[in-house]
Amino acid sequence: MFDIYNRKIDYIRISVTDRCNLRCIYCMPEKGVQSVDNKDILSYEEIIYLCENFAKIGISKIKITGGEPLVRDNLAYLIKKIKSIQGINNVTLTTNGILLEEQIDSLVKSGLDAVNVSIDSLDEITYKSITRIGDVNKVIRGIDKTLEYKNIVVKINCVPIEGINDKQILDITKLAKNKNLSVRFIELMPIGLGKKINGMSEEKIKKIIQENYGELIVYNKPMGNGPSNYYSLENFQGKIGFISAVNHKFCNSCNRVRITANGFLKTCLQYNEGQDLKSLIRSGKSDEEINEVIKKTIYNKPKENRFLEQNCCEKLEQNIMSQIGG
């Protein structure tokens, strides 16, 4: 379907849980996390029902997120059910990779198309300083096992942070040289705990890469469902991408909306506006009524984010990233 600004909206990110087995410094506090009660999280049946309705209005691509989606039991079942829905052509997963090694076999059998793995450093000490409790070696083993499946697209997501993992940018980049995967550097979002941390600019990261690995050559072919700008490097198997939603915002071509773990339809990451779909489902609203609400909410998707404006507007998102399924 198309929104009020004539953008084709065909991609939805669905958070299946707000829980996580890490405590990344820009995403969650170390202690005192207030999780959504299990009764308030969408059931798999409710998620499948919503996906069937999304497919009817033109959504064809689904990304499963969290929190950490692999901490929820039997995720492969959900993916299999979603992939079987007529009109859904692509089902992908974003994970921190801690549980990937033990679950990738069942995920592939379920029909999963691609995996994005978040890993901000390959250095054990730095990785633990960012995640507080994570073991980077488990993540690397999960990536390597996933790469054994040649039909699964693998991408690495890295959030560069000044003074913390900026020295590991070249190591992360090199993954795309030696492995059949692509690396994306994601600009730190000023949401929740991310407001208190200094990220790195795309320009600075590019400069570091080009000084060591040569010229980044623009790659114009499609590489997935999202907004990353990709580049090639000589003698690299994979591509290097940049997602810079703040300083290089791509709102004019945004094609996505989000569902939080508790069933709230978000049309833009920055704002708390949207629609509580869980309440509509559980109050017994008809398919037609729910579809009309979904269409109206998506149609009125905001024109753009305004992260660079101080106190730009009301109705800003106040939750931390794990609670909104970023």
- On whether residue 246 sits in a domain, the answer given is yes
* 94 annotated binding-site participant: yes
- On whether residue 101 sits in a domain, the answer given is yes
- CA–CA separation, 116 and 155 (whole Å): 5
Q: Phi first, then psi: what are they for 70, rounded to 5°?
A: -75, -5
Say which amino acid occupies 24: C
How big is the CA angle at 47 (ends 46 and 50), to the nearest 5 degrees?
A: 85
Q: Phi first, then psi: what are they for 138, rounded to 5°?
A: -65, -40
* 51 annotated binding-site participant: no
Residue 250 confidence class, pLDDT cut points 50, 70, 90: confident
DSSP symbols for 3-52: -TT--B--EEEEE--S--S---TTTS-SS---PPPGGGSPPHHHHHHHHH
User: Are the beta carbons of 315 and 271 closer than 8 angstroms?
Assistant: yes
* 321 annotated binding-site participant: no
* 13 annotated binding-site participant: yes
- Give the residue from 250, 248, 169 showing the smallest Cα distance to 202: 248
- On whether residue 116 sits in a domain, the answer given is yes
Comparing 87-96, 140-149, 247-256, the range with the smallest average pLDDT is 247-256
* 267 annotated binding-site participant: no
Average pLDDT of the residues of the chain? 92
Number of neighbouring beta carbons within 10 Å of residue 92:
23
What does DSSP assign to residue 298? H
* 155 annotated binding-site participant: yes
Q: Phi first, then psi: what are they for 152, rounded to 5°?
A: -100, 125
- On whether residue 1 sits in a domain, the answer given is no
What pLDDT, on a 0 to 100 scale, did the predictor assign at position 14? 98
- On whether residue 2 sits in a domain, the answer given is no
* 313 annotated binding-site participant: no
Position 272 pLDDT exceeds 90? no
User: Are the beta carbons of 241 and 205 closer than 8 angstroms?
Assistant: no
- On whether residue 6 sits in a domain, the answer given is no
* 254 annotated binding-site participant: yes
- On whether residue 17 sits in a domain, the answer given is yes
User: Are the beta carbons of 119 and 155 closer than 8 angstroms?
Assistant: no
293 Ramachandran zone, left/alpha/beta (phi>0; psi -120 to 50):
alpha
* 132 annotated binding-site participant: no
CATH of residue 291: 3.20.20.70
- Looking at per-residue confidence, does 68 or 189 come out higher? 68
Domain that holds residue 46: 11-324
Position 31 pLDDT exceeds 90? no
Position 186 pLDDT exceeds 80? yes
Residues of the chain with pLDDT > 70, as a percent, come to: 92
- Looking at per-residue confidence, does 250 or 152 come out higher? 152
Predicted structure pTM score: 0.93
User: Helix count (H) and strand count (E) of the chain?
Assistant: 10, 12
* 256 annotated binding-site participant: yes
- CA–CA separation, 167 and 113 (whole Å): 32
Q: How far is CA 2 from the centre of its chain?
A: 22
Domains contained in the chain, number: 1
DSSP symbols for 104-115: HHHHHHTT--EE
What pLDDT, on a 0 to 100 scale, did the predictor assign at position 321? 65
Decide: helix, strand or coil at residue 1: coil
Q: Beta partners for 64?
A: 14, 93
* 312 annotated binding-site participant: no
What pLDDT, on a 0 to 100 scale, did the predictor assign at position 4? 97
- On whether residue 306 sits in a domain, the answer given is yes
| Dihedral angle of Cα 112, 118, 122, 123, to the nearest 10 degrees | -140
The pair of three-digit structure tokens given for residue 159, joined into one six-digit string: 């959030």
Determine the average pLDDT of the residues in 97-111: 98
